[in-house]
Structure 1
Amino acid sequence: MGEREFAILVTPEHAPPINPSPWYAFSFVARGDEGISVRLDYAGARHRYLPKLISGATVTAMPVDVVEDGSSARVHIPAGSGIVAAQEPFDLDRHDLVLDRLAALPQAERVELGRSLDGRPISAVRFGDPAASSLVVLLGRQHPPEVSGAIAMEAFLQTVADEIEAGQLDNGRIQFLAVPVLNPDGVARGHWRANRGGKDLNRDWGDFSQPETQAVKQWLDAAPRSVRPVAMLDFHSTRRNLFYVQGEDETGAREERFLAGWLGDKTAALPGYPFSIERRNANPGSGTAKNWFSATYGIPAYTYEVGDEADHQATRRAAAVLAQSFLDQIMLLDKM
């Protein structure tokens, strides 16, 4: 648009997206003393993510001017060089580090559940006694830009690993399947929402039309008959911190006690991380992981949503506390 003015059109990988999440990232070099101005124009979406200036290990939120209808936003970038991104990059290599830490636990193994449409591995770690009858399933990154949810899952899993290494968890009673990045193609390609097949994976539970959801289902189907899921968490991001849970008329006393013990007294108790609990009835046709696990196994199944702009340190601290409390409730499940 000029020597130091640019416009970028940000478009989805398929249309129309559900709950559009207009991810963007670009590198820049602005020589001299003057910065540059970049206008972000959105197709099929409104501005959602605050731009972050990334220089080395430093991530700084940037001011932005958004037009009234949200269809475009202007960012003023200082002189120098770096990356501007909608959310800080959280790439597949970083997910691999989480998987490697879990795979080093006692009674742990790294598992390739399947392959994505681009041929990337759908990687998981199963840890705990493989003969344990109680299985906890932890899913993440169905939606690529939801980085704050990935940060929470990373801290959650690190806390679980710490508890196991400290001998605080009875591995003989419980095992875990952790899938930190279910949509590796979308993460690698910078998609807003979908996998390589143009499908929102969190609308494919039940249909299982995509290799990523098929891979989890096939692993569950191949497990010994004595092994059964007892709880599921699916990590995501949205505009504020919240947990989606089933409606009261769809859960039994056991699930209600689990929810009360895990989250009931913590909505305003975690420093810098207030959250709400929102009940959403299971719509059989919705295709979300929460609803499918709840309907199929009759277990506590929740969507763990982290605010887009939630403070990362507060998110990590809250995830550590919530992981410990979650484990406490899992160990009590047999008595509920």
Structure 2
Amino acid sequence: MAAMIKMPKQLLLLSLILCGFLQPVYAENAVCIFDDVEFKTDFPTARLNGCREKDGEYFLTIKPEKKPINPSPWYAFRVISEDTGRIAITLNYEVGKHRYWPKFSINGRDWYRVNENDLEIAEDGRSARITVKVKAEEPLWIAGQEIFTSRQHTLWMLSAARTHDFLDIYDLGKSSGNREIYKLESRAASPEARTILLLGRQHPPEVTGALAMVPFMEALFADTELARHFRARYRIVAIPNLNPDGVALGNWRGNKNGQDLNRDWGRFTQPETELVRREMTRFGEGRDGALALMLDFHSTWENLLYTQPEAEPTQPENFAAAWHQAVMARAGDIPFRLAPEDSDLEKGTSKGYFYAAYGIPAITYEMADDADRDNIHRLATIAAEEMMKIMLAD
């Protein structure tokens, strides 16, 4: 039997709330209605671009929002069948190769990995055949990862602000598709308090990064002596969902304009990155203390930290190496690689920009696509605690 993928309790609660309140989405998804089976895309994050039926099997086309593009072939749809039984679905990728192991859900909140025996990936990786069991007239969600919508992000932030009296939620402005982008900010003990910036969801399919950012923030907001001491000295600014359009539209990589936000830092051609640049001027000008650290949460093939190399000085000195070592001392059983690389501003990444602009540790926190969800939570909690210890010692 498939093992259930565990999501944070807060996200499960929000999923329950959201079941009856799915927001409309305007993506170019296909309408797929056959004699006894229908594939639906009437929910946020959906991605299905074409379909056909042959000899009782269903062949679905998955396309990116633009080409060329990073190979992150996201898919998400619901299946409704008139009959109970097993059906075969083949995903054909117009670009790239199969990446995300399919998950399924009967209610949109509890997710399971498709069994290995029910998944066949073509030798060239350009298609994947899934066999699933359906019940008559009962929807079955299928997606590359657990569905984590923009609305869930927003409600989690609202819940955090209600729970913690030191937190406020602000509307930063509008995305390229006119959706709100929100930030959480802790009230600083003094105007001179230094600030850490947390960014998330620049790339829509990178759900494991989003799942890491939640417990990381929870550790910073916790009612512990360490967290209280940290908040007395540091302001926390968190923007968990910088690309709400891309998330809602089921994009592989970009925003509504098809632009990769994590290649736009320093250029600031997109509203989303420009909002953050404008927000950060208060720290560069010294109006609210200084920016001390930037962490950007993503997903890739393995757990790792993209950091500054030793040749690029930071304060605290060698922060990334010290942080990684402290985390591994407590979580050595979880693979988590330190990956120093030059902070090339020309790449347009948040890591490169924030190091060049502020001279601070600017790190991309990456979780593997298939990372164990319990390990994601444990690692993020430990990472947050060890980060606080190092920053407090500075």
Q: TM-score, normalised by structure 2?
A: 0.79
Task: Report the CA distance between 1:252 and its aligned residue.
Answer: 4.4
Structure 1 residue 295 displacement after superposition: 1.1
User: How far apart in 2 are the matches of 1:318 and 1:68?
Assistant: 34
* Structure-2 separation of matches of 1:159 and 1:121: 26
Between the aligned partners of 2:226 and 2:322, the Cα distance in structure 1 is 23
Amino acid at match of 1:297: Y
Q: Which piece of structure 1 moves more, 267-276 or 149-158?
A: 267-276
- What is the aligned counterpart of 2:216 among 156, 161, 165? 156
| CA distance in 1: counterparts of 2:100 and 2:381, whole angstroms | 25
Alpha-carbon distance in structure 2 between the residues aligned to 1:222 and 1:167: 24
Matching of residue 295 in structure 1 with residue 356 in structure 2: yes
Q: Distance in 2 between matches of 1:231 and 1:163?
A: 22
Among candidates 112, 117, 127, match of residue 176 of structure 2: 117
Match runs of 1:264-283 below 5 Å: 264-267=325-328, 269-270=330-331, 273-283=334-344
Q: Which amino acid aligns with 1:51?
A: P
How far off is 1:284 after superposition? 2.0
SS at structure 2 position matched to 1:254: coil
- CA distance 1:229–1:164, change in 2 (3 Å): farther
Q: 1:161–1:290: structure 2 CA closer, same or farther, 3 Å change rule?
A: same
Residue by residue, what CA displacement relative to the aligned partner does 1:246-279 show, whole Å, maximum 9, x if unpaired?
Answer: 12211247330x2233211434742763210111
Equivalent residue number for residue 239 of structure 2: 179
**Structure 1 residues 163 and 132: alpha-carbon distance in aligned structure 2, compared to 1, 3 A threshold:** farther
For 1:89, the equivalent position in structure 2 comes to 147
Give the match for residue 56 of structure 2: 4
Gaps spanning 5+ residues in structure 1: where?
A: none
**Partner Cα separation in structure 2 for residue 284 and residue 86 of structure 1:** 32
Q: Is the 8 A contact 2:203 2:253 kept in 1?
A: yes
1:58 aligns with 2:110: yes
Deviates more, 1:272-281 or 1:201-210: 272-281
Q: Which runs of 5+ in 2 are unaligned?
A: 1-52
Give the counterpart of 2:88 among 29, 33, 37.
Answer: 37
Q: Distance in 2 between matches of 1:215 and 1:165?
A: 33
Which shows bigger deviation, 289-298 or 22-31?
22-31
Q: Which moved more, 1:167-176 or 1:238-247?
A: 167-176
- 321-330 or 139-148, larger mean C-alpha shift: 321-330
Which of 319, 331, 334 is the equivalent residue of 2:392? 331
- Partners of 2:314 and 2:225 in 1: how far apart? 33
How big is the shift at 1:31? 4.4
Contact 1:23/1:145 (<8 A) preserved: yes
Once the two structures are overlaid, the 10-residue window that deviates more, 158-167 or 281-290, is: 158-167
Q: Secondary structure at the match of 2:296?
A: strand
- Is 1:106–1:128's contact at 8 Å kept on the other side of the alignment? no
After superposition, give the CA deviation of every residue in 1:86-109 in whole Å (9 maximum; x if it has no partner): 011001222123312442333332
Out of 217, 231, 235, the residue aligned to residue 277 of structure 2 is: 217
CA distance in 2, matches of 1:4, 1:147: 32
- What are the superposed Cα offsets for residues 225-251 of structure 1, whole Å, 9 maximum, x if unpaired? 242210010000011111100122112
SS at match of 1:282: coil
AA aligned to 1:120 is R
Give the counterpart letter for 1:126 in structure 2: E
- SS of structure 2 residue aligned to 1:250: coil
The answer to whether the Cα contact below 8 Å between 2:316 and 2:391 also exists between their aligned partners in 1 is: no
- Contact between 2:245 and 2:256, CA under 8 Å: does it hold in 1? yes
Paired amino acid for 1:286: K
Q: Is the 8 A contact 1:132 1:174 kept in 2?
A: no
Shift of 1:167: 6.2
Change (3 A) 1:272 1:88: farther
Does residue 22 (structure 1) correspond to residue 73 (structure 2)? The answer is yes
Change (3 A) 1:161 1:42: same
Q: Distance in 2 between matches of 1:291 and 1:33?
A: 52
Q: Secondary structure of the residue that 2:265 maps to in structure 1?
A: coil
Residues in 1 aligned to 2:88 and 2:332: alpha-carbon distance in whole angstroms: 37
When the two chains are superposed, the root-mean-square deviation of aligned CA atoms in Å is 2.0
Please say if 1:47 is aligned against 2:106.
no
Identity %: 37
Give, in whole Å, the separation in 2 of the partners of 1:58 and 1:221: 41
Q: Which residue of 2 aligns with 1:99?
A: 157
* Alignment check: 8 A CA contact 1:139 1:180 kept: yes
